[in-house]
Amino acid sequence: MNIKLLITGGTIDKVYNQSSGSVEFEQSHFPEMLKRARVEVEINSEVLMLKDSLDMGDADRQLLLNSCLTCKEDKILITHGTDTMCETAKLLGEKVDNKTIVLFGAMIPYTVGNSDALFNLGCALGSVHLLAPGVYVAMNGRVLPWSDVQKNRDLGVFQPLSP
């Protein structure tokens, strides 16, 4: 079974710039992450963009949607920034019905100590094998459907809309 990995950026792929004190993009870290995680399934990776999700516009989301609709794989992982992950999941959830899509990211960049990146990658990868077709968000050890997920900015976690 092949899995498509669509890379869009987000905190997970950022690096800390010691000169400026900011986090920014250099390149995707997913080849290294997949090797480090010792992933043994076939993953076809494609970098669509390296953007903070707050900088993603309608054209970026349309590119992501088209990539999901046209790829041959029916199991898709999407890296995404956490700030607008739920909005993108909603768009995909309303437009794609015959594939299993799991969005994930990180609160702390992969290259920074104590990152949640590998954990969230593992959770998303395990989930995409088991879930029914639909669109989901895998963060903080939870996998939630696009229609029942929100980012709690105060706690820095993703949780259901309903209690």
| Ranges assigned E (strand) in 10-155 | 14-17, 22-25, 42-51, 75-79, 100-104, 134-139, 142-145, 150-152
Per the document, the length of the chain is 163
For residue 136, give the nearest of 99, 162, 110, 106 by alpha carbon.
Answer: 99
Residue of 11, 84, 88, 100 marked active site: 11
Asked about 84 being catalytic, the answer comes back as no
Q: So which residues are the catalytic ones? A: 11
